[in-house]
Every structure is written in C-alpha cells, then in structure tokens.
Amino acid sequence: MTTHESVTKPALPDVSGLVVGVLGGTGDQGRGLAFRLAKAGQQVVIGSRTAERAEAAAAELGLGVRGTDNAGCARDSDIVIVAVPWDGHADTLSALREELAGKIVVDCVNPLGFDKQGAYALKPEEGSAAQQAAALLPDSRVTAAFHHLSAVLLQDESIERIDTDVLVLGEDREATDLVQALADRIPGMRGIFAGRLRNAHQVESLVANLISVNRRYKAHAGIRITDV
C-alpha cells in the first residue's frame, strides 16, 4: 500500500435528513445546485424575492423541490446556500438576519467585475463575500463553498457526474464538516476543507481565472486538489 493510499480520511456526518435552502434558487447557479442536491436525495427548498417565481422554478425542477420567498426558505431550512447576485448580496442577507439565526449559511457568491478584458475579482470592504455574510449574520454559522462549479454542467440533466472538488471554508469545524458532507452527496464531487473565512477572497477570486480558462478552451473547468 502506498503512502497516498494509506491516508485515513476523517468520517463526515450524515446530512441526508437535513433540509437545504437555496437563496437565489431561480438563478442559474442556485437552480443547478438545487437540482443536483435534490437528485441526490436531499430535501431542497428554493427561495426568491417572490414566492410565485420560486414556486414556478420548483415545479419545473420536480424531484420534490419546494419554492417560497427568501424568508420562508431561510426559516424552513437547516442549511442555507446563498447563491444571489453579488450586487444584491448585502441587502438580501441583512433582511434575513433573524430568519438565518442559528442556521449554517453557505456563501457561494463570487464578487466579480467585467470589462472588455474579461472577468476580474472585486475586493469587498470586509475582505470577501463570505466575510461580509459573517459580519451581517453574527448569529449564523457562516461557511463558504460551491464557488467553482459550472452552472451549465449543474443544470445539464444528461450529465450524471460532475468531477470536481468543492473547497469549504469556515471558522466552525462542525459546520464545515456538514458542508463537506453535503458536497459529497453529489456524484463526482468531493468536499475539501480549505481554511478559515479570512482565506475566502482568493477562493472567490479564482472564478475569474476559471472564466478565462473556459473562454480560451471552450470548457467548463473545475478544481481538483491532489494528494488528498
């Protein structure tokens, strides 16, 4: 047995019974994550600014997905994924502080700008989108994950596996273990702990590089961590 093969990985918790909410579940990224998690057997609730829009998207997805407004999504879920546009990030979370209290919040928002040269990273005042979420939600257990996933692949029903790693960051190891386990539910994905929230900026920023890769090679690139 090689050294690599003999590495013992810590056991992750069972998350199969938890309800996962997706704020921004009618957008491409949120909708894709909702589809993949529901297909893996997770109970999923998608949220939108209007319940009607979320309900319509949930009906299209099927798989037992429910739709409601953002506040209802936050209240009804154990783990809440934030997949809203960056320009609405702060306002959305500020309005949901009470509903998200005590919840595990998974921020997957990438603060990016675009110009004639392509995508580039923005630096929020707090340091990253995840750190902004932590500042706005002091009573929540904020983590960061699911940044580097192609919305095209997530939504493509003909694709069974998405071979990529999901970098998970946070201060609360129990919370990051749960998010890693959630990522592991999706075939082909693997959750990897990648540090504290102070390291979230470079993880969020890497998406600008992936966009450049995808444009150059006409691909839907992801991330793999070696030797783990």
Q: What is the pTM of this model?
A: 0.93
Dihedral sign, Cα of residue 228, residue 33, residue 22, residue 213:
positive
The per-residue pLDDT of the chain, averaged, comes to 94
Is 61 within 8 Å of 35 (Cβ atoms)? yes
pLDDT of residue 1: 44
d(CA 7, CA 211): 33
Residue 224: predicted pLDDT:
96
Tell me the pLDDT tens digit for each residue of 5-22. 445 567 899 999 999 999
pLDDT of residue 11: 86
Is residue 228 pLDDT above 70, yes or no?
A: yes
Please say if the pLDDT value at position 206 is more than 50: yes
pLDDT digit string (tens) for 21-41?
A: 999 988 999 999 999 999 999
Closest of 93, 92, 215, 198 to residue 150, by C-alpha: 215
HSE-up of 205 (CA within 13 Å, CB side)? 11
The predicted pLDDT at position 164 comes to 96
Q: Give the list of residues 6+ apart from residue 73 with CB closer than 8 angstroms, or none.
A: 21, 22, 23, 25, 45, 46, 47, 54, 80
Radius of gyration of the chain (CA): 17
